[in-house]
Structure 1
Amino acid sequence: MSLSPQFLDELRARTSLSVLIGRHVKLLRAGREWKACCPFHQEKTPSFTVNDEKGFYHCFGCGAHGDAIRFLTDSRGLPFIDAVKELADAAGLAVPAPDPAAQQKAERAASLYDVMEAAAAWFQEQLAGVEGGAARDYLKQRGLDERALGRFRFGFAPDSRGKLKAGLKHHGIEKLVDSGLLIAPEGEEREPYDRFRGRLMIPIRDQRGRVIAFGGRILGAGEPKYLNSPDTPLFDKGRTLYNLDRAGPASRDSRRVIVVEGYMDVIALDQAGIGEAVAPLGTALTEGQLERLWRLGENPILCFDGDAAGQKAALRAALRALPHIGPARSLGFITLPAGQDPDDLVRAGGRAALEALLEHPEPLVDRLWRHEVTAVPLTTPESKAGLKKRLLDHVATIGNGDVREQYRHELMERFGALTRPRRAVWTPRQDWQKGKGSNRFQPRQPTSEGARTVGQSGLWAQTGRAVLQGLLRFPAVIPAHAEAIAALPLSERSAARLRDSLLDAAMIHGALDQERLNTILAHSGAASLAEKLRLERGLAFSFTRRDTDSERACRDLVLVIDTLAAGPGLDAALAAATARLKEQGDEAAFQEQQRLRTARDEADRQLAALIESDAAARE
């Protein structure tokens, strides 16, 4: 819909910006302007200003800036035309219709709002009446209190083909059909009849809080379980999200928006104190619904059921979002326990149970990677090539060039780390070399005094276990240093097994935190190894102590990993240089051997210095 600049200027002139914004935040007079804490980001000192004379607001903290229309679109997620209509209603202006047909459609829609409001009130009356007993019992079983019943305006449609029709006949049969409340059968001789019969009724509202449709849940046996209104002049199912009018304001406070599967999940979360939840209306998320979600937040969190159907719905949403993601437009995902929906989770564990999952949503790139890498066993070159093709096909759908390139780089880096053969693991006791002039293998002797001390003391084995302790505490280090971790000289089979489990978790699941890692290790059967190692008292590195700054701990952890990983290469090169020196006896071979010996001893001293430093810090 195109509106003239003259009309928009008149609308802004008739709107008091301070009055409009003052309904949402507390404004304080500051000379000729107003000040407040910004409604678009968390702050304690006011940096948000409103200027009525100039007709705009501006935040010096986050940069939010705009006029009255922009404030409604950004703060409440309203589409532009809905924001204009709301301001025009308050200012007593009529929004010009672009053509006679659009004007007729607008007038037709306006007359239906009264019909839908009357229907919502009528359904509420039936719920409170004699016929609503079974519906009231169902709501009680679901644990809904009186506040939730009134807040969401639950109602009941009697099991009759004509009671609603009779109760609202003064609105006219034609309007009841147009609003989707009655079904008009084909053939003039057949009378329209009630669409909703024997169902618990849940009003669906638009972003301005007006009733535009209904969802009806069957009580007892019958199909479909949920029945929604058809598309009408008021209701477009593919562009509507249940509870969007309330979730918009709530999302400004919580800085997030949550997408669940159904009405009852939204209502259960609201009753638990999480008001920023919305739900699609029985269909997969559409592009129109995604656009509305992104107006509320950069990374809506999808919280679908933990069963197979719920996870498939989450994947469909991920694939539908890919062409439209951008630098500030993505999705997050949380996976519920198998067989549970959000309603089950909060009823069993309260709000805290869901909040624990919401703290660490899985990024879109991780969900995409996890799905594809577990789709088929990667046991052949063909299956690995298939994985690569599927990943690149997904990347090709991303519309934003910068984001597309980042996805390509990230996924191909993971693919390479997953499919690249791991280097053989070096251990002091098991590293064998082929003897000169012999077909049998002989153990290589330590090639420096420092290396001999290390081998005798078991320092390398103890340091390897300490590194694993550090990785369990700081699993975010793993993805960026996977190749070096794969090369760690771990002489104990249990330690090597745990190391491989950590690498597999990072390669399949991407970014990790302690909670996610614990869950993954439990599923892979490595939890007991991890727990045993956590309880072990070994070398005192910064990353094994709880009282050390995490930044320093991660820095030291990476340093030790790199030092240990370099050990096999240094020893192999030193052995080769020693062999050349014995055969050739020249100065170049001697200098090379001494250089490598010094480097190997320096690595031992570096590890010892870190241990001594941390041991002193414990005293």
Structure 2
Amino acid sequence: MSLPPGFLEELRDRASLSQVVGRKVIWDNRKSNQGKGDMWAPCPFHQEKSASFHVDDRKGFYYCFGCHAKGDAISFVRETENVSFMEAVEIIAREVGMPVPKQDPRAQAKSDKRTQLAEVMEQAVQWFRLQLRTGAAGAAREYLAKRGLSEKAQAHWEIGFAPDSWQGLWDALKAKGVEDDLIFGAGLAKPSTKGGRPYDTFRGRIMFPIRDARGRAIAFGGRAMDPNDKAKYLNSPETELFDKGRSLYNVKDARAAAGRGQPLIVAEAYMDVIALHGAGFEGAVAPLGTAITENQLQMLWRIAPEPIITLDGDAAGQRAAL
């Protein structure tokens, strides 16, 4: 069957090759470096005592310097389990919790919609960035300056501002011809329950784009400017792009930093990650909720064998760590 564009790439992103291969081999711990995803073992495809079978967990490929077997997680499952390509895909998808699309036209339509949603999210990133330069964002700029964020840092993190208006982003996206269902589907606006116009999800907040391991903008986190706001931090609702329990703030750059040997540090919130990065700790991430989920723990362990948990010492931070 034909799979929608992007599905296999996301499956390979979620699946840890070392975990898939690790069920069939015994790693040579003297030769392997788990922190860098550099793993060695005797080859499962031919008889040998030396560890000539190499797994590059970060790139997602294996290669045997003895028999020259090579491939990715899917080909490994195919060869070791003697199954078809689609059966191997289904085995790995079940392990990482990804439903395999059915063979019908709607699968392609769903993939196309995800691409469209990602494009709308990028438009929102740019719009929020522009709003940070307006007069309405004076207090937001002042707050960021007090927190030590230079304009260069703000640009690096793509920090923006959501004005305290009901339809600011909605009107901007509609003016560009974006369809209603895509704005709703991206979690950027909500329909009125009183029969009025749709309203923006984020209002009166400093905006932090949340990107996935591929670098796509999938959600936003917004910090309230009003100290009396009940929700100091507000995340996007879950969408076809955004699964809060499977996402980490700054995961793409942190994974690259960990690959260079930097420690993986789990902080409480966006500003903590940014502060750590500014202090030279580029391998910092933050969960996007009140607790670290099992899926997030798996993501962390795939990046580094010993992530450092530095959540706040208050009750909320302790609950999140537990």
TM-score by length of 2: 0.69
- State the one-letter code of the partner of 1:70: G
1:262 counterpart (266, 269, 285): 269
Task: Deviation per CA, 1:524-544: give whole Å up to 9, x if none.
Answer: xxxxxxxxxxxxxxxxxxxxx
The within-5 A match list for 1:411-560 is none
Question: For 1:167, what is the secondary structure of its paired residue?
Answer: helix
Q: Which residue of structure 1 lines up, in the alignment, with residue 191 of structure 2?
A: 184
Deviation at 1:108, TM superposition (A): 1.1
Which structure has greater strand proportion? 2
Q: Which residue of structure 2 lines up, in the alignment, with residue 65 of structure 1?
A: 55
Deviation at 1:69, TM superposition (A): 5.7
Counterpart contact for 1:40–1:64, Cα < 8 Å: no
1:201 counterpart (196, 207, 214): 207
The within-5 A match list for 1:591-606 is none
CA distance in 1, matches of 2:289, 2:125: 20
Distance verdict in 2 for CA 1:65–1:2, change over 3 Å: farther
2:320 is the counterpart of 1:313: yes
Q: Which runs of 5+ in 1 are unaligned?
A: 9-37, 49-59, 73-78, 82-95, 317-619
CA distance in 1, matches of 2:304, 2:241: 25
Question: For 2:222, what is the secondary structure of its paired residue?
Answer: strand
2:134 is the counterpart of 1:99: no
Counterpart contact for 1:215–1:227, Cα < 8 Å: yes
Distance verdict in 2 for CA 1:174–1:130, change over 3 Å: same
Counterpart contact for 2:253–2:282, Cα < 8 Å: yes
Deviation at 1:307, TM superposition (A): 2.6
Q: Which residue of structure 2 lines up, in the alignment, with residue 156 of structure 1?
A: 161
Task: Deviation per CA, 1:35-64: give whole Å up to 9, x if none.
Answer: xxx99778xxxx99xxxxxxxxxxx99964
CA distance in 1, matches of 2:215, 2:240: 16
1:286 counterpart (285, 290, 293): 293
Q: Which runs of 5+ in 2 are unaligned?
A: 9-31, 40-49, 63-71, 75-99
Q: Which residue of structure 2 lines up, in the alignment, with residue 243 of structure 1?
A: 250
CA distance in 2, matches of 1:213, 1:254: 28
Task: Deviation per CA, 1:83-126: give whole Å up to 9, x if none.
Answer: xxxxxxxxxxxxx9642233322111111111000000000000
Task: Deviation per CA, 1:547-572: give whole Å up to 9, x if none.
Answer: xxxxxxxxxxxxxxxxxxxxxxxxxx
CA distance in 2, matches of 1:40, 1:147: 34
Counterpart contact for 2:291–2:319, Cα < 8 Å: no
- State the one-letter code of the partner of 1:105: K
2:281 is the counterpart of 1:274: yes
CA distance in 2, matches of 1:244, 1:67: 16
- State the one-letter code of the partner of 1:99: Q
CA distance in 2, matches of 1:63, 1:255: 26
- State the one-letter code of the partner of 1:220: D
- State the one-letter code of the partner of 1:163: G
User: Alignment RMSD, CA only?
Assistant: 3.1
Distance verdict in 2 for CA 1:67–1:245, change over 3 Å: closer
- State the one-letter code of the partner of 2:157: F
Q: Which residue of structure 1 lines up, in the alignment, with residue 217 of structure 2?
A: 211
User: RCO greater where, 1 or 2, for CA within 8 Å and sep 6 or more?
Assistant: 2
Question: For 1:123, what is the secondary structure of its paired residue?
Answer: helix
Question: For 1:177, what is the secondary structure of its paired residue?
Answer: helix
Question: For 1:224, what is the secondary structure of its paired residue?
Answer: coil
Task: Deviation per CA, 1:240-294: give whole Å up to 9, x if none.
Answer: 0111011000011225311111111111001111010111112201111111111
Question: For 2:60, what is the secondary structure of its paired residue?
Answer: helix
Which structure has greater helix proportion? 1
Counterpart contact for 1:240–1:289, Cα < 8 Å: yes
* Structure whose CA Rg is larger: 1
CA distance in 2, matches of 1:62, 1:181: 50
Q: Which residue of structure 2 lines up, in the alignment, with residue 121 of structure 1?
A: 126
- State the one-letter code of the partner of 1:184: P
| Number of residue pairs aligned between Structure 1 and Structure 2 | 246
Distance verdict in 2 for CA 1:265–1:102, change over 3 Å: same
Counterpart contact for 2:265–2:309, Cα < 8 Å: yes
Q: Which residue of structure 2 lines up, in the alignment, with residue 503 of structure 1?
A: none
